[in-house]
A and B are shown apart, each in its own frame.
Chain A
Amino acid sequence: MTDLTPPTRRGPLAKREARLAWGLLAPTLLSVSLVVIVPLLAIFWISFKPVELADLRPTAPIVRESLRGEGDDMRVEYRLRNSSRTDPIAGVTLSDTLPEGLVPTGEVEGACSLDGQRLTCDFGDIEGGFNERIRVPVTLEGDAEAVEAAAEASEPVVTGKGRNVLTDATFTLDNFRMVFDGGEFWSVLGITLFYAVFGTIGALVVGLFAAMLLDKSFRGQGILRGLYLFPYVAPVIAVAFTWVTLFDPFSGSANALLVQMGVSSQAINFFGERPLALIMVTLFEIWRYFPLSFLFILARMQSIDTDMYEAADMDGASPFQKFWYLSLPQLLGILSVLFLLRFIWTFNKFDDIFLLTGGNAGTRTLTVNVYEQAFALSNIGAGAAVAVVVFLCLLIFSILFFKTMSREEGL
């Protein structure tokens, strides 16, 4: 009697299919891991290192060769210096071969020795700020110009291992200490949360309103829908600078309008005052991203079955009741997915605030702080530490998101 149970192992066909799948995915996997996974690991690494912006250029010995003097006083001069004023370099050597036509006439002093045309020097370890000249007296034979050209063409070889903060084994917790110290972190986090929560909710509510307006067919519906998408489609730099221009305290039209309408007696510095600046960047966020939520909500609305509304009409439900008891529960799924997604994205938003206020006047969010620490304060390590915090927050949110998502398989 043969066994009639189906095979439990994967057959050759399934294996071939899986191989093909991985083959097709390989380029994507490779490139994405190179640009996402490697930098992510790097940012964790850097966050524990005392790296400044200047350290990105590693410490190295630098040499300049020149031919100086005339006639009898002819000499080849090497100027060797340490690129860093503070860090030592280990095992520095210099070697060069003088071209034919430059004949060494005397001895060279110090760490160097001459063997025929070949110059070798061994400086051992040099200190930070090291700067020395080596002179090799020579006489010139043959065509002067050709020899000079040859002398310049031969590059001296220098070796030496400088300390590279990025790759060595010094670690520090200073970056994180700096990030969390002084209460600044909590105010930054508070600002980020305010911006993310209100920006997201605002964009959702405004988007819901816009979707309800367009959830009926009339002439010009397509045009209006296209128009309402403008803020999202236009480049962020264009709209951000337009807002800055519009709300400029000196030459902005918004201020002129408010003064003229008697709402305010003097110009308001919309992007320069606490807490107004934070409210303004949140409003900008709402303005720029309501199109997105409206597009999603509209798509969901148009897929709701109309039978339900007809039944409600028969039962005498009023318009508000229909919205509250029928539409809203149907939209709850997409709204919660949108909320989480938009929340994550607003939390991660950098460009908008950076362009509007540069993080001034109480609008410095976590992401702006990454830039501020790394580039404005030249402390790459501290910037990386903030980036790590941002990433950990993101991780928590995405776990939440995937939990909601598997419940709402709509998106």
Chain B
Amino acid sequence: MTAIRQGHVTGALLGVLWMAVVAVTVAVAMSFATGAGFRPGLIGILVAGLVSGLAPLYLPNRWAVSGLTFVVVAALSFAGAGPVQIGSGVSALSVLISLLVTALSAGIGMGAILKGVTPGPLTRHVFEAAVIRFLTGFGYIFFTAIVIIPFYVMVMTSLKSQQALLQNPLDFSLDLGRGVDLFRSYIELFRDFNFGTYLWTSFYVSVLTVIITLAFSIPGAYAVARLRFRGAKAFSRGILLIYMVPMIVLALPIYIGFSMAGLRNTIFGIVIIYPVTTIPVGLYMLQGYFRGLPAEVEEAGLMDGLSRLAVIWKITLPLALPALASVSLYVFMIAWNEFLLAFMLLDDPSKFTLTRGVTMLNSSEIPRQHLMAGAVIATLPIMVIFLGLERFMTKGLTAGSVKG
């Protein structure tokens, strides 16, 4: 360990690692943005990484480090051994951008990472702080990349044409000259594949699910949280247990039962079954919240002559509004995203929910961009709701998402 805890060794090591992170990031980002050939180069990473890792030990500020790194990166690239190798046919602007971004991220990054690191032996604190700053930087890039790339691919694929996709799967640059034609997949989905209906079906099924779930779980949660009765504890555990029963185990008998009762292929059947899967969740989340409310207010209400039900309606519910919002959002999300039951119970294309409709697009006869456009249509509403009400949603997730 002490061998690594030397200013030069630490600087060099972190410099090379950081340069590798930057080079890979820039190469991937530029490839996805332009579709042209960008790849990380090993020699460039080693040399430029050493320079950017050692420079902060001697140079006064990060701009000087960035400047030096830029010169080295540019020289290496000119010699054909840059940290980011650039294929032929790339516009001068892209080359310049990739060089600048590489050098600046490496320079500024290393300047920040190696803050306080001096040549010679380092104390444990300084060394670990530098490593942590490197890991933090790496973490932000890593997580942002793995989250953004799939969603970026989803949106961009839906806007491309079949030929363009097969020609160069990496090229996600948009041909803005196509105008409205860009949204052709969406237009076709709504015109020929009934997606407007599916969107509406999914919406009202989800809303009905939320309403029914609340109607059942509010009284239940109140009873578990406030009233004393034998078996209260066993009951609240039982709820959690039921919550863990896998849907696929239940789906089989439900399928058989629905086939016999003629409820398969009906929206009514779906509206019956969805709330039952979400009531335990709602009950579990709400009872936790009800327990946290002060009982004194309710007792005051009781003293003033309100009945228990009036207390729930006039005192508990208004106090629990934020929790109700969280539960509603969470239940809406579950119902909106539900796939298994819709897939098993609905066969008639006129009654599909959105998720079932998107599954239908997964066939070799339907072009990929239609599938991705369907995915975008299914994702967009829930994302808008999520971003708009993130505070409630996050709370709902933490409270209730024992479930996957």
The interface of chain A, by Cβ under 8 A from chain B, is 14, 17-18, 20-22, 24-25, 27-28, 31-32, 34-36, 38-40, 42-43, 46, 56, 166, 209-210, 212-213, 222, 224-239, 241-243, 245-246, 248, 250-253, 255-257, 260-262, 287, 289, 292, 295-296, 299, 318-320, 341-342, 344-346, 348-351, 355, 367, 370-371, 374, 380, 383-384, 387, 390-391, 394, 398, 401-402, 411
Contact = CB atoms under 8 A, between A and B. Distances in A.
A174 to B, nearest CB: 17
Contact of B170 (A235, A256, A374, A380): A256
Nearest to B153: A246
B146 to A, nearest CB: 6
Interface stretch (B94-102, B179-187, B229-237): B229-237
B286 to A, nearest CB: 11
A251 B27 contact: no
Interface string B232-251: 10010100011011111110
A243 B372 CA distance: 11
Given A28-B279, A166-B256, A237 B132 contact: no
A230 B143 CA distance: 11
B28 A348 contact: no
Contacts of B169: 248, 251-253, 255-256
**Which of A225, A248, A374 has the largest count of B CB atoms less than 10 A from its CB?**
A374
A237 B375 contact: yes
Interface string B363-404: 000001001100110110011001100100110011001111
Contact of B375 (A231, A242, A253): A242
Contacts of B308: 20
Interface string B81-98: 000000100000000000
Interface residues of B, number: 101
A36 B257 CA distance: 12
**Which of A38, A213, A243, A380 has the largest count of B CB atoms less than 10 A from its CB?**
A213
Contact of A245 (B146, B219, B280, B368): B368
Interface string B331-348: 001001101100000000
B244 A394 contact: yes
B153 A253 contact: yes
A371 B340 CA distance: 11
B402 A341 contact: yes
24 contacts: A14-B228, A20-B223, A25-B235, A32-B279, A46-B253, A56-B256, A213-B140, A228-B143, A233-B393, A235-B382, A237-B378, A241-B375, A242-B154, A246-B150, A253-B172, A292-B401, A295-B401, A341-B402, A345-B244, A346-B404, A348-B248, A350-B340, A401-B244, A402-B237
A226 B149 CA distance: 16
Contacts of A342: 404
Given A242-B372, A243-B150, 11 more contacts: A28-B220, A38-B253, A39-B250, A226-B387, A229-B397, A236-B339, A245-B153, A262-B39, A350-B246, A370-B252, A391-B245
A22 B280 CA distance: 16
**Which of B217, B241, B275 has the largest count of A CB atoms less than 10 A from its CB?**
B241
B224 interface: yes
B362 A241 contact: yes
Nearest to B393: A233
B300 interface: no
Nearest to A322: B128
Interface in B146-181: 146-151, 153-154, 157, 165-166, 168-170, 172
Contacts of A233: 333, 382-383, 386, 393
B372 A245 contact: yes
Nearest to A246: B153
Given A27-B216, A233-B383, A341-B402, A348 B246 contact: yes
B146 A287 contact: yes
B125 to A, nearest CB: 5
A345 B358 contact: no
Contacts of A341: 402
A243 B37 CA distance: 22
Interface in B118-152: 124-125, 128-129, 132, 136, 139-140, 143-144, 146-151
A391 B242 CA distance: 11
Top 7 A-B residue pairs of the complex, sorted by shortest distance between their CB atoms:
A348-B246, A39-B253, A238-B375, A18-B229, A24-B219, A345-B404, A21-B227
A28 B282 CA distance: 11
Given A213-B136, A245-B371, A292-B401, A374 B252 contact: yes
A43 B254 CA distance: 10
Contacts of A371: 248
B16 interface: no
B247 A350 contact: yes
A18 to B, nearest CB: 4
Given A21-B232, A374-B252, A226 B157 contact: no
B355 A237 contact: yes
B166 A251 contact: yes
A390 B244 CA distance: 12
A210 B135 CA distance: 11
Given A255-B169, A257-B28, A402-B237, A43 B276 contact: no
Contact of A261 (B39, B125, B394): B39
B283 interface: yes
A137 B283 CA distance: 67
Contacts of B198: none
A367 B337 contact: no
A229 B230 contact: no
Given A24-B223, A237-B378, A380-B252, A56 B147 contact: no
Given A229-B397, A230-B383, A237 B244 contact: no
Contacts of B336: 235
